[in-house]
Structure 1
Amino acid sequence: MAKLSQTIVQQIDKLPEDISFGYGQLAIAKQDYLAAAKALERLQKKGAIKKLAKGIFYKPKRTVFGEKKPDEQQFLKPYLYQNGKRTAYITGDYLYNQLGLTTQVPAVIKIASRNRRIFVNTGAIKATAVKSYIDVTNDNYSLLGFLDAMKDLKQIPDIDISNALVIFKSRIKELKPVQRQLMVDYALAYPPRLRALLGAILTDLNLPKGTDKLRDSLNPLTTFDLGIDDSRLPNAPDWNIQ
């Protein structure tokens, strides 16, 4: 018990203020949850941590305006981990808003995971589950979220397609070669419209590595109505994109 308490304190000490956490992020074995709960309760009484919701805590950050609570993303963060490992990520319009693709903020946030169905309803924050195309890790979740945005291009509310293409190109260009290769590999598990769009953008950026795999994965008779102007993506017709 003492050793477990010490381990918990050490892990929490390493966390920055204004960051939420749960049992999953502290890598506590399920059989130790009861003992861990008592240790966390003692830390709450000391004021070292505060409870945000059932099983979710945060280190309070005090400012000149008073104590600052974590935002929605921080509130949901503990749900994205299992046994200390990331297995889910925030996607959908909430993410697309952060990427600058839409000005709208959804009432219900989407959480993607390969093997878990995560639902949250605390009154103020609601989240629903969607299935990810790839197993989620701490190293790939941002790439998967970006691929989701490209996949959902036509479904994103009030999106400006031309502006979206600028954002997509800029972010893909900034990736390291190994990240772009991973993106291509992950894209093979996504719907064909995403593969075509990624292939067209990579070709437009003169980054052809991996585009052969994307093209070979597509049916040459299938066309994709993405509402893209040829002036913004000149090679779109070569990828059957309209």
Structure 2
Amino acid sequence: MEHDMDPPIDPPRDVIWSASNHERCYTLGDKWFVKRQLYDEELPVSRDGRLIYPIWDSERLRNEYLATRFIRVHTDIPVQDCRLFLENGLMCFASRQVLDAVPLEDVRPTLRLAALAAVERQMERFILPQLRQHRRSYIGSVGSTIPVFPPQRVYRQDGRDWAQVSSVADAFVLCHNDLSGKNIWLDPTSFRIVAITGWEFAGYFPESFELPLWRADGFVGRQEMHGRALARDLSFFGLRPSDLRNNYPISYRRSG
């Protein structure tokens, strides 16, 4: 790994909320927001009784850590301080709680149009130009030891290995790959962007991979935007939507 693990953070004095899905446990404490790998007993089980591990389980957490640190050092895009550490053998990514801000998706309906207009201006003038200043001749993570994996909206349930595509010129730009309303945090009065979170799928890809998900109307709108882009994005890898398979890594061993 390119980074020695940070020491674990202090347990939160107050847990504001905690929730899990089939891939992660999420905990918001008084200072930190933590994503944790699941214990075996928390994982879903296949019909034949085997555990189903998330695709690119630890790699995505490592990628989020390295991408967030890269953005913090090399751009003026606001991101939170973060840590990567092991707790009881499980990888955890922690980022400082975003204070005095609201995610775009939680802006009151009566203010949504004004908030969207403000976000659009900041994306076009500030966020996207800074990301696109960082270019490279091959796709993938900012971390040199992390394997190539596209955004989850592209691989879906397909755990195949993805090709390391390269170009003669620096054709690929740094993309966040999930600039949706849950990851864009705003000052609730001015709608100034105070934090961009969720860099789990960030990396160098064709500029078209950066979908304007902040414009999408909720979950359904995001899924529609994902669906419209799927064939185009898969064609970059020489694939079609019909080539995708449901092959979660049920025999997968976690890597550290």
TM-score by length of 1: 0.25
Higher relative contact order (CA 8 A, sep 6+): 2
Larger of the two Rg values belongs to structure: 1
Which has the larger helix fraction?
Answer: 1
TM-score by length of 2: 0.24
